[in-house]
Amino acid sequence: MSKTTIVNFNDLKIACENCSLSRLCLPMGLEQSDIERLDQIVSRSKPYHRNDYLFREGDTFKGIYAVKTGSIKTYVSREDGSDQVLGFHLPGEIIGLDAIEAGVHGCTAKILETTAVCLIPYEKLEKLSVEIPSLQHQMFRLMSREISNESNMLILLGKKNADERLATFLLSLSQRYKQRGFSSQEFNLSMSRNEIGNYLGLAVETISRLFTRFQDEGILKVERKHVELLDIEALKRISSHCSQNDSSSKSSASI
C-alpha cells in the first residue's frame, strides 16, 4: 500500500496525510477548493493499537471517524454484561454517524489491530456542509447508504442459517477488501472467531465448525487468522440459500 492513503469516505473522498487528490475528488461532485476546505478541518492522530478504544459508549460525540488503515469493531454492551458486535470497520469506512442525534456515542469502538483514523469534527463538518451544498449532498448519501445497508443485516439475522451467515460474512469482507484494492481471495481476519460469532448471532463453536467444514469441502483454506477463498462461487451459492443452483444471475450479497 502506498504511503499516500486515501480514505473513501464512501462516495465522499477525503484526503488523509498529505496527498493530492484532484483525480479522485472531481468525479464525485466536490470541487478541488472544497476538498481543501474539508481537508483542513480533518484531524489526524497517531495510530491506535489493538484493544485501544476509539470511543466508548457514553462518550461525548466529537465527530465522525474515517478508518485509514487497520480495523475496528463497534459493539454495544447489554444489561446482562454480554455484548453485541454491530460491525467491523475497514479502511475507507466511517464510524460514528449514529451518535449525531444523541450527541453521545451509543456504542463502543475498539481497535482490532494497529489502526489509523481521521477525525472529522462534527460541528465543523455541519457548518461546512451548509456552505458547500455538494458536501451536504454527499453527507446525505453517506448516511442514506448506512441506513440502506441495514436490510442486509436484518436478512442475515432474521432469515439465514449458520452456513449462509458465514458465507455472506466472508463475501462481504472479500468484496470490501477488493474495493479497497486488496486481494478479494485472500486476507487476514482481524477479529476473533468469538467476535465473528457474536456479530453473526452464532456461537463461537458454530463458527469454528463451519470453518472446518468449509475447508473440508474445499471452499476455503483457513489457518488461524488467514483465510483464502478457494471457491467464491460456492460461497455465493451458499450465502443466498440456493443449495446448488446455477449462479448465473445476480451478484448482490453484501453485509
Q: Are strands 94-95 and 186-188 parallel, antiparallel or unpaired?
A: unpaired
Site string for its own copies, 29-68 (x = CB under 8 A): ----------------------------------------
Q: Cell numbers at residue 6, please? A: 486515501
Min. distance of Cβ 153 from its own copies in angstroms? 6
Number of residues that bind its own copies (CB under 8 A): 50
Q: How many residues does the chain have?
A: 255
Contact partner at residue 29 from DNA, its own copies, none, CB < 5 to 8 Å by partner kind: none
Under rule CB under 8 A, residue 82 binds its own copies: yes
Contact partner at residue 151 from its own copies, DNA, none, CB < 5 to 8 Å by partner kind: its own copies
Binding to its own copies, residues 105-144 (CB under 8 A): 106-107, 126, 129-130, 133, 136-137, 139-144
Under rule CB under 8 A, residue 98 binds its own copies: yes
Under rule CB under 8 A, residue 153 binds its own copies: yes
Contact partner at residue 158 from DNA, its own copies, none, CB < 5 to 8 Å by partner kind: its own copies
The owner of cell 483454506 is 221
**How far is residue 68's CA from residue 87's CA, in Å, rounded to a whole number?**
16
Complete DSSP assignment for 191-250: S-HHHHHHHHT--HHHHHHHHHHHHHTTSEEEETTEEEES-HHHHHHHHT--SS----S-
Binding to DNA, residues 54-93 (CB under 7 A): none
Under rule CB under 7 A, residue 106 binds DNA: no
Of 53, 44, 50, which is closest to residue 116 (Cα–Cα)? 44
Binding to DNA, residues 193-212 (CB under 7 A): 193-194, 197, 201-209, 211-212
Give the distance between the most distant pair of CA atoms in the chain: 57
Which segments within the chain are labelled E, that is strand? 6-9, 12-15, 43-44, 53-55, 63-77, 83-89, 94-95, 108-121, 186-188, 220-223, 226-229
CB 170 within 8 A of CB 227: yes
Q: Cell numbers at residue 133, please? A: 451544498
Min. distance of Cβ 209 from its own copies in angstroms? 19
Tell me the CA end-to-end span of the chain in Å, nearest whole number: 25
Whichever of 63 and 197 has its CB closer to DNA, that residue is 197
Whichever of 80 and 216 has its CB closer to its own copies, that residue is 80
* Interface residue list for DNA (CB under 7 A): 161-163, 192-194, 197, 201-209, 211-212, 222, 224-225
* Interface residue list for its own copies (CB under 8 A): 11, 76, 78-80, 82, 84, 86, 97-102, 106-107, 126, 129-130, 133, 136-137, 139-148, 150-151, 153-155, 157-159, 198-201, 240-242, 249-250, 252
